[in-house]
Amino acid sequence: MIINGETIAFAVFAIMAIVGGVGVAALRNLFHAALSLLVALFGVAGLFVLLAAPFLAMVQILVYMGAIAILIIFVIMLTQRVAGMREQYNRQWILSGLVALVVFGVLLMVISQLGTPENAMWNPSAVAATLPDDAGVAALGADLVDANRYVLPFEVAGLLMTVALIGAIAVARED
């Protein structure tokens, strides 16, 4: 493996993502777990940049870290007296760990298969060094509203936001 800027950046962001992920899955303090979710999300955002998706990296930071994670922290603050800041694992944690391990094992097995000669994913040269002309934010935006492409799921996603709005009000409204 060649040590260059990208490898170092990958290593840093990957470690952030993994450390954050471990924190979410294992930290006993609710608030600390939420903070480590933020770290993991930031790591993933960094990886998005490396994968030539800077727009989604920004969305990740704005929507996931700025809105979702902060909302989660708010709810923790709202409910901590009942939930308690500390939390126990449930009783079948050994079984749960096994299930997660099996899922991971299968995925790893499958992904390591990608290294066979006829598969190109291990081979950096198979990945185009330059992006196509139609990449970038403009293309993403055009695809979303282009009737040839993703306008239907885009509309449905809008509908989904409406439902979430109605739902959150219907659920949380005091009457």
Partner 1 sequence: MELPTLQDLNLAVTLPSMGLALWACVVLAVGLFLPERRRHWNLVLSLGGIVALFLYNLTLFDLPADRQSAFLGMYRADNFTAFVNLIALVTAFFGVLMAYEYLKRTHIDRGEYYPLLLISTSGAMLMGASGDLAVLFVALELLSIPLYIMSGLRRPNAASEESALKYFLLGAFSSAFLVYGVALVYGAAGSTDLSEIFHRVNAGLILDQGLLLAGAGLMLVGLGFKVAAVPFHMWTPDVYQGAPTAVTGYMSVGAKLGGFAGLLRVFIVALPAVSGAGDATGWQDTIALIAALTMILGNVVAIAQRDVKRMLGYSSIAHAGYILMGAAAAGSPDVRDFAVSASLFYLLAYAFTNLGAFAVTVAIEKDDATNPQLDDFNGLSKTRPVLALAMALFMLSLTGIPPTAGVVGKFFLFQAAVNAGMVWLALIGVITSVVSAFYYLRIVVNMYLREGPGEAQAQRSFLGVAVGLAAVGTFVLGVAPVLFLDLAQRAVLVALGG
Partner 2 sequence: MEPAPLNISAYVVLSAILFAMGALGVLIRRNAILVFMSVELMLNAANLALIAFARFYNQMDGQILVFFVMTVAAAEVAVGLALIVVIFRTRRSINIDELSRLKD
Query: 118-147: which residues touch partner 1 (CB under 8 A)?
Result: 119-121, 142, 146-147
Q: Which of 12, 99, 145, 151 binds partner 2 (CB under 8 A)?
A: 99
- Binding residues among 5-44 for partner 2 as defined by CB under 8 A: 5-7, 10, 14, 17-18, 21-22, 24-26, 30, 33-34, 37, 40-41, 44
- Of 95, 111, 131, 138, the residue at the interface with partner 1 (CB under 8 A) is 111
**Which lies closer to partner 1 via its Cβ, residue 82 or residue 109?**
109
Give the integer Cα–Cα distance in Å for 40 and 64: 11
B/e letters for 96-109, b = 16+ CB within 10 Å, e = fewer, are eeeeeeeeeeeeee
Q: Give the relative orientation of helices 151-172 and 137-145 as an angle to the nearest 10 degrees.
A: 80
Count of Cβ atoms closer than 10 Å to residue 17 Cβ: 19
Residues 67-106 within binding reach of partner 1 (CB under 8 A): 106
Of 2, 94, 110, 129, the one binding partner 1 (CB under 8 A) is 110
Q: Which entry of partner 2, partner 1, none binds 67, CB below 5 to 8 A by partner kind?
A: partner 2
**Taking the complex as a whole, how short is the minimal distance between the CB of residue 22 and partner 1, in angstroms?**
18
d(CA 88, CA 28): 7
Radius of gyration (Cα) for the chain, nearest Å?
21
Select the residue interacting with partner 2 from 12, 103, 145, 151 (CB under 8 A).
Answer: 103
Pick the closest to residue 75 from 42, 43, 33 (CA basis).
Answer: 33
Under the binding rule (CB under 8 A), the answer on residue 65 touching partner 2 is no
Which residue of 117, 118, 172, 175 would you call a contact of partner 2, by CB under 8 A?
Answer: 172
How many CA atoms within 13 Å lie on the side-chain side of 75?
A: 7
Residue entry with tokens 């979710």:
37
Phi and psi torsions of 129, nearest 5°? -75, -35
Site residues (vs partner 1, CB under 8 A): 106-107, 109-111, 113-114, 119-121, 142, 146-148, 150-153, 155-157, 159-160, 162-164, 166-167, 170-171
